Amino acid sequence: MPPDAFPYVRVVPENSRDRAYDYAVPDALRGRVGIGMRVRMPLRHAETSGIVIEMLERTEFAKVRALSGLVGETPVVPPALFGLARWMADYYCAPLAAALHCILPEPVRNEAGALVRLWVEARADVSDEDVLAALGGRAKKQLEAWHHLREHGGGWFGDLCSETGIGRAVWQGLRDRGFISIENAEKERDPFLRLPDPVAAEHAPNPAQAAALAAIAEEQAKAAAGEKPRPVLLLGVTGSGKTEVYLRAIAATLDAGKSALMIVPEIALTPQAVERFRARFLGQKVRVAVLHSGLSRGERYDQWRQIREGRARIVIGARSAIFAPAEDLGLIVVDEEHEGSYKQEEAPYYHGRDLAVMRAHLEKIPVVLGSATPSLESFYNAEQGKYRLVRLPARVASRPMPTVHVIDLRMKSKPKEGEPPPSVALSPRLREAVTLRLERHEQVLLYLNRRGHSTALQCPECGHVEMCPRCSISLTWHRSDGRLRCHLCDHAAPVPPKCPACGAPDYRYGGQGTQKIEEVVAKEFPQARMLRMDSDSMRGKDAHHRALAAFAAGEIDILVGTQMIAKGLDFPRVTCVGVINVDGALQIPDFRSGERVFQQLMQVAGRAGRAETLGEVFIQTRTPFHPAIQYARHHDYDGFAEQELEFRKALGYPPYRRAVLVRWKGKSEEKTRFVAEQIGKKITEGMTAGNLGEAGEVAPAAIVRIDGLFRFNQLLLTQRVPDVSRFLSALLADPAWEEEVKTSVDVDPLMVA
């Protein structure tokens, strides 16, 4: 049916996650409205904008209102992305509205680009002498503002006010004196504005890199010939030059007239990736766009618009960058494809890597999945021939892998009665290694994936532990502000003056986080320049970039941090890595816990010895013979994968079957349990009747209460995810279920505890 023959459309309001409405198409808009286009429509007592998701010949409603108009003449959601949204909604058991909500960033949904933007700039015909003569010793704030502009250049009005702490009236005073201009401007906000131009570094590919590039080129040739390309799994040890392969593959893609998309797992990794890409392509006049949540709303809008208009041919970003509206794509790259941060933690619970594979499939182009420690799902797909496996088995220039030492922290003798066990931050062996590296003017990484200072506050008299009032976990003491904090709901409280249970005056501070390691290091190595990188210390804009730039410049000797320092970073002067403790992660009741720890150890170990000097890694643990630790000690990915896949196959766990986790949350534990058991019973019956797979028992989550809500889970194992998603969507649409208890569905969960 031609577009002008459809009298009705179905529209999702842009701020809705679960509702769609039918509208009539007025005669003036017939033939101009299409799927993925943005329209204006009345909703209740106001007018709003929405996305057309379906063209309708008829509607089931007796009376519908008409569209008010169009917002642009082309689809705001391109056809390929709209197809991805539909697949995402079907596979992840989510409304299409929720999928579209993910695809369009908030600044685009709320038209941030339409906001008035004021550009502030020093006038070229005004000199410092003119300003000094006019202001003299008065108006010190105006002088400060003037010098800031002269030193840093122009900027957006709002940004200047927030960055300098200088109020609007001061800037306006300078404008009234004729010293600066404040005007509406079409200059785009540039996230690279304050960054220096990078220096390019290009290396001739070694034979393994050349073979990897040839494999990617073969898959691209298949796509050009109309054949179906296979995803390429690039399994390269840390320091093997995967980034050089990405750069050259993307360069070849650009030469073919196509654009490229690369996603990285963490915002902390984005600056270094962007710097390398800008260095390589800046001279070729190729614009690199960046997308991640660390940008301001205006920067995100402008970067999105550059991509949508085809002016940026390379896109780099974190998880949500997979939705970049790049057209004429020729290649997608997913770096560190195994990373859990690619998994969305709220509905729809999509996985960025899997969406990248599906987008590549829909656009009929290759996707490269790179990692030194691929997820077992991806490795299994490669073993089955679904993916093409390419290896980089050695570091560039044949540099050796770091030597890994496992330090056994188990006590050789029991402490005396009433005496607490010793708390080990830096073992003597690790302390000696750090001392040696500092004497050689080399750099050290100390890794502990737990922020804060002490992980528990316990009364030595009665054993009472300070717990979060809203979650089933202990509060962590943060030395930086002297408060107890919950890392799940962000509840904060002062340290009680005495034990609320027995009145004892003292507490024992147990466990350790990055703040405690920072404190110990400062005491042990007072001459060392140290920096802590975790989500507490890296809060400001560009904080990650500034910290990593200082470390790269040799201004920092010891970097203490959580997982944001454990992957993807390349610092040639790092020769020593200390892993403070991984035992807690091994104790999580989840079948993936061993895989996660193995990946963390392999990745953080890979930061050491990436240049000429041999690196050393020290893993402190009380479980030294755990397979994850022993395989990581020998850099043996294949050995770990073989034994772990054997274990998974015996139990029917992923990748041999897919997992679906149904979650229930509610304020009342009894009501939540009751609703979970009632729905869980129907799920079990439906799974059995439809031969859809296996349904486990409804059980409390490992942390039963988070942010005041009690949690219950049911794990489903299936070979037929689309069928299970459709079954669950129909079942959970029943309005009879208790509204106070929320039910959600997580397909391919990374945590099932």
User: What's the rounded mean pLDDT across residues 53-81?
Assistant: 91
Task: Give buried/exposed letters for 460-490 (b at 16+ CB in 10 A, else e).
Answer: eeeebebebebbbbbbbbbeeeeebbbbebe
Expressed in angstroms, the distance from the first to the final Cα of the chain is: 50
Among residues 234, 602, 591, 558, the alpha carbon closest in space to that of 402 is found at: 602
Q: What is the pLDDT of residue 566?
A: 79
Mean pLDDT (the chain, rounded): 90
Report the sign of the C-alpha dihedral through residues 337, 339, 344, 348, in that order: positive
What is the architecture, at CATH level 2, of domain 207-397?
A: 3-Layer(aba) Sandwich (3.40)
**Residues 549-585: tens digit of each pLDDT:** 889 899 999 999 998 887 767 788 999 999 999 998 9
Model confidence band, residue 499 (pLDDT cutoffs 50, 70, 90): very high
Q: How many CA atoms lie within 13 A of 580 on its CB side?
A: 28
Residues 670, 435 contacting (CB under 8 angstroms): no
**Residues 152-187: tens digit of each pLDDT:** 888 878 778 878 889 888 998 899 889 998 887 655
> For the chain, what percent of residues have pLDDT higher than 90?
64
| pTM for the full predicted model | 0.87
Does 403-413+423-453+512-648 carry CATH code 3.40.50.300?
A: yes
Q: Decide if pLDDT at 114 tops 50.
A: no
Residues 530, 557 contacting (CB under 8 angstroms): yes
Structure tokens at 371: 């990692």
What DSSP character marks residue 180? E
User: What's the rounded mean pLDDT across residues 2-6?
Assistant: 69
**Residues 313-347: tens digit of each pLDDT:** 999 999 999 999 998 999 999 999 999 999 999 88
**Residues 501-524: tens digit of each pLDDT:** 999 988 888 889 999 999 999 999
> For the chain, what percent of residues have pLDDT higher than 70?
93
**Residues 202-216: tens digit of each pLDDT:** 778 999 999 999 999
Do the domains spanning 3-110 and 658-747 agree at the CATH topology level? no
User: What's the rounded mean pLDDT across residues 284-295?
Assistant: 83
What is the architecture, at CATH level 2, of domain 658-747?
A: 2-Layer Sandwich (3.30)
Helix pair angle (669-689, 721-732), 10° resolution: 130
Q: What is the pLDDT of residue 4?
A: 65
How open is the CA angle 466-467-468, to the nearest 5 degrees? 130
Q: CA-to-CA distance for 715 and 749, rounded, in angstroms?
A: 10
Q: CA-to-CA distance for 386 and 232, rounded, in angstroms?
A: 9
Q: Decide if pLDDT at 194 tops 70.
A: no
Strand partners, 561: 447, 533
Q: What is the CATH number of domain 3-110?
A: 3.40.1440.60
Q: What is the pLDDT of residue 703?
A: 95
Q: Decide if pLDDT at 30 tops 60.
A: yes
Q: Decide if pLDDT at 130 tops 90.
A: no
User: What's the rounded mean pLDDT across residues 15-21?
Assistant: 81
User: What's the rounded mean pLDDT across residues 399-409?
Assistant: 94
User: What's the rounded mean pLDDT across residues 143-155?
Assistant: 87
Q: CA-to-CA distance for 669 and 372, rounded, in angstroms?
A: 43
Q: Decide if pLDDT at 418 tops 70.
A: no
Angstrom CA distances, 350 to 323, 346, 750, stand at: 12, 9, 11
Cβ-based neighbour number of residue 729 at 10 Å: 15
Among residues 602, 677, 672, the alpha carbon closest in space to that of 637 is found at: 602
**Residues 623-659: tens digit of each pLDDT:** 999 999 999 999 999 999 999 999 999 999 999 999 9
**Residues 248-278: tens digit of each pLDDT:** 999 999 999 999 999 998 876 666 777 888 8
Q: CA-to-CA distance for 714 and 679, rounded, in angstroms?
A: 10
Q: CA-to-CA distance for 516 and 531, rounded, in angstroms?
A: 13
Name the 3-class secondary structure at 718: strand
Among residues 559, 592, 594, 562, the alpha carbon closest in space to that of 575 is found at: 559
User: What's the rounded mean pLDDT across residues 691-697?
Assistant: 97
* DSSP letters spanning 208-257: HHHHHHHHHHHHHHHHHTT--PPPEEEEE-TTS-HHHHHHHHHHHHHHTT
* DSSP letters spanning 50-62: EEEEEEES--SSS
Residue spans of the domains in the chain: they are: 3-110, 118-184, 207-397, 403-413+423-453+512-648, 658-747
Q: What is the pLDDT of residue 42?
A: 93
